[in-house]
Amino acid sequence: VAAIGSQEAEKKYESLLNNLSHPPAFTTVRVNTYLASVEHIRGLLCEEIHKQYASLSVPVLQHPQLPDILLIPVIGPRSDLQKLANEAIVGAQCGSAVLRGAHVYAPGIVSASKFMRAGDLVSVYSDIEGKCKRGAKEFLGTKVFIGNGISELSRSEIFNSNGPLKGLGIKMIEPIYLSPSFDNLLPSYLFLQNLPSAVVSYVLNPQPGERILDMCAAPGGKTTHLATLMHDEGEVIALDKIADKVKKIKQNASSLKLNCIKTFCYDGTKALEISKRADGQEGPPFVPESFDRILLDAPCSGMGQRPNMAFSWSLKEVTSYQPLQRRLFSVTLETSTIMIYSAVFSCVLESAEILYYLLDWIILTPHCQIISLQLCRREGMIGAGLSPEQLKQLQRFDPSEAVLQPMDLNSLQSVKHEDLIRLANKDCIGFFIAKFIKV
């Protein structure tokens, strides 16, 4: 606040909260170039979107700096939708998924009108405060309208079922934000991924035949991207300390037909072994300098994810990740010569301490340098107390800087291609990237 002024800081915070409640301006999807060309998959995707959008013409753009990334403009928010008498309430997480193009699956439904039947038109609302009681026939608390759909199940089928709920609950036909659904759409060829997450892999720049470590890898988006950029040649070691998350990494690697990924359920803070390893030991812990490059996408609060209409973090929670981030960072720089540190962020509070730690570490470690980044260039983080030179060495994507404006088909036709790309680089999730190299 001292750096940018209290009034400006307050305006920036209000802008941040407003922007976080809306989805990014584009749906970002990565093409698995190990299996097919971008041109071929882009053609198939255009055909599918044409079907989903009832022949409406929506462009699919290829990112000029990230050649395997395709961008689909998000249409909305739509103001012409009529709210219906039949209502269904979904959880905040489900509501966020709907705002990014998903249908409503049965486990996400918290409440439904008393006489809702299969086949009924229903208005869908998100319970952003998590206060709706499961099975309620009416909810008068805080809720946000996210569109209309057709119920696939009756109220009794949803709430009187003996077994676990599965499958589609409501098919969205009039979402307030129009984004394509990727349910079972070319699963071996397309992977939904936020734009800054794709930037990370390009900045690390893995090469075929190298040995790469992804320290906190789940669910595997960056892991599989690294393997793809390496043409599935070499070795990508993926760690996560939660078994179910490791299983998800394996599933994503299998779906994309990538074979160079090896997964281990292991705590990254214990991944360094100073003494000699046993002969033939493949997994962690690792001796120093075991890898050509390392990615540390550090655990964080995830405050920069979008959309997010429920802000429930405490100060203690926001700052609780910093000790873990520091421990992981220390381990990482001992096991490789090139390293990327990244995290989802939305506020200086969460990022400032780790930034100071990283830069102090560089000052005290002369053989290590921080590398200036140029890809989708956005400098530093004003308000963290960093000098202009330090800011130039860091990269961030800041949702508070995006100017939200409704997007419709008519306005799309008049916007230049380069302006759309510029908007995609700016109107995305909050993210921070730094690159280090030992010399």
Binding residues for S-adenosyl-L-methionine: 216-222, 240, 267, 297
Q: What is the CA radius of gyration of the chain?
A: 23
Sheet holding 109-112, edge to edge: 104-105, 168-175, 144-151, 121-127, 87-91, 109-112
What single DSSP character describes residue 413? H
User: In angstroms, rounded to a whole number, what is the distance separating the alpha carbons of residues 246 and 366?
Assistant: 36
User: In angstroms, rounded to a whole number, what is the distance separating the alpha carbons of residues 253 and 267?
Assistant: 21
Binding-site annotation: residue ranges: 216-222, 240, 267, 297
Owner of token pair 């934000």: 177
Whether 347 is a known active-site residue: answer yes
User: In angstroms, rounded to a whole number, what is the distance separating the alpha carbons of residues 195 and 26?
Assistant: 9
The SS3 of residue 79 is coil
Separation of CA 371 from chain center:
24
Selected catalytic residue, list 132, 347, 376, 428? 347
Which of 155, 98, 152, 106 has its CA nearest to residue 124? 98
| Residue 204: both structure tokens together | 């690390």
Helix (H) or strand (E) holding 390: helix 388-392
User: What residues act catalytically?
Assistant: 347
